[in-house]
Structure 1
Amino acid sequence: MPPTLVRRLAACAALLPALTAWAQESALCTSDGRPAPRALHERFINADCAPCWREATPTPPPGTGVLDWVIPGHLGDDAPLSAVARREALQRLAALHLPVPERRAERSSTVQGGPHHVRVSRGPVFDGYVGASLTFDSRAPLKPPLTGWLALVELLPAGTEGSPVPRVLMRNLLSDTIAAHNTEDMGQLWRPMNVPAGAQASRLQLLGWVSDAQGHVLAAAESSCDDAGQR
């Protein structure tokens, strides 16, 4: 077994007891008490296009969950934005049936809400990992498959690396088919998520949503942290 994989498995194993205790008691960062987003606005930037990061974009309306995806470019590791590019961005584009943009692209989706509810929560960063979960419940009949998306994001203020707007940078992603009702203590989606090098723990949050087979966003949620969760 490769040494890197051994270290990762050991880190996950060390985190699991803390993650279980966190799930059974209370998480430091949750979506509890926070208004659910009424829309999801996704911005896709090709890692080859450094100027795209520095281009101004319209401010989404209040109540919108924003997510910035950096897509791996043709230049690979030599791309200007390769340090923050994630292959999961290609997965998301495929789910939306969108082509890979040469520069950048944007997509807005209405969140249905109503009888559908998502909760997201995370614990503290520990040894380069953070325990994160998504719970979904619906009072309406739903036809499978349903897909849960749980994004670990870093909130970057305007001015970061020359960006004229604040960014909600996607740092890690968990996505899988889920049931319409939760039966587990820790939710339908949960795992220790790796925190990429360079990400600041105090800026990490979660953005989660659930979509149906047609790609409609049924519900979404964003976390917020208390003071302890910011340290």
Structure 2
Amino acid sequence: MKNIAIALTATLALAPASHALAQAGCSSDGATRPMVLFERFINADCADCWTDPATPAPSGGTRTVALDWIVPGAGDDDAPLSAAATRDGLIRLADLGRQPPKNSDAHILEVGVPPAGTVRVASGPPFNEYLGTSISWQPAGKGAKARGPWHYHLLLVEAIPAGTEGSTVARNIVRNMLQGTWDAAAPPSRTKRVVLTEPRPMRIPDGAKPERLFMVGWVQDAQGQTVAAARSVCR
């Protein structure tokens, strides 16, 4: 519990109200807003999928964020890629209405244009096995337009450069995921903009290198449309 409390304190130190501290850590402040999520799913049984030089690559430059999900395979802990496998990948596939791939699969998700608001993601310095993280959402409208519900995803991602860890292409491995829903209990103000925030400590999985970690987050509306996204930059 002490670890969690300290990690959470680090998250709060990166809140938008403290601009100077935010710039010293990792946040999406000033970063390019992603317009496309390029998601690659790999079955943990498929070692060749990880090393395949023909792995689909995203286009669109900084407007596209590639995400690599390693989903558990039939081999469980004995699968070649089991060390990076997470059940979060299965949850994500279920959200998309897709079945786990026998080998690998890809999905392209476009973010709404123009974005329906602003997503902010941030993380503090690692402490033992935890990283203080947060996601916040400011809908573009006021009053009823800001009511929601809004469903958020916050991902802890590890950047793997091409030519390392056995991969011939650069990858962004999803290491942890947080999901939740914001739904205003009372009618939002007609004159003030709504800002919704979720601070949460996230565990750094065994084997992940803290210096490679960054955050990706997005928000969906009541119809399931992805209306805005963000990626953190460490400064």
Answer yes or no: is the 8 Å Cα contact 2:157–2:175 preserved in 1.
yes
Q: What is the correspondence of 1:1-231 to structure 2 with a 5 Å cutoff? A: 9-23=1-15, 25=18, 26-27=21-22, 28-55=25-52, 56-61=54-59, 62=61, 63-114=63-114, 115-140=116-141, 141=145, 144-179=148-183, 182-183=194-195, 187-226=196-235
Question: Given the superposition, is the C-alpha separation of residues 33 and 179 from structure 1 closer, same or farther in structure 2, using an over 3 Å criterion?
Answer: farther
When the two structures are aligned, how many residues end up with a matched partner?
A: 215
Q: Shift of residue 113 of structure 1? A: 4.3
8 Å Cα contact 1:123-1:132 kept in structure 2: yes
CA contact (8 A) 1:179 1:188 kept: no
SS in 2 for 1:93: helix
Map of 1:229 onto structure 2: none
Q: Is the 8 A contact 1:47 1:81 kept in 2?
A: yes
In 2, Cα distance between the equivalents of 1:129 and 1:58? 32
Q: Secondary structure of the residue that 1:162 maps to in structure 2?
A: coil
- SS of 2:5's partner is helix
Deviates most, 174-183 or 113-122? 174-183
* Residue aligning to 2:189: none
CA contact (8 A) 2:149 2:181 kept: yes
Unpaired runs of 5+ residues, structure 1, are 1-8, 227-231
CA distance in 2, matches of 1:169, 1:18: 23
Alpha carbon RMSD of aligned pairs, Å?
1.9
SS at the partner of 2:83?
helix
TM-score of the two chains, using structure 1 as the length reference: 0.86
- Contact 2:122–2:134 (CA under 8 A) maintained in structure 1: yes
Secondary structure of the corresponding residue to residue 165 of structure 2: helix
**Identical positions, percent:** 45
| TM-fit CA distance, 1:225 | 0.7
1:132 Cα offset (Å): 0.7
TM-score (norm 2): 0.85
Pairwise CA distance, 1:127: 1.2
In structure 2, the gaps of 5 or more residues are 185-192
1:147-203 CA distance string (max 9 Å, x none): 1000000010001232121000001111111248754xxx53221110111111111
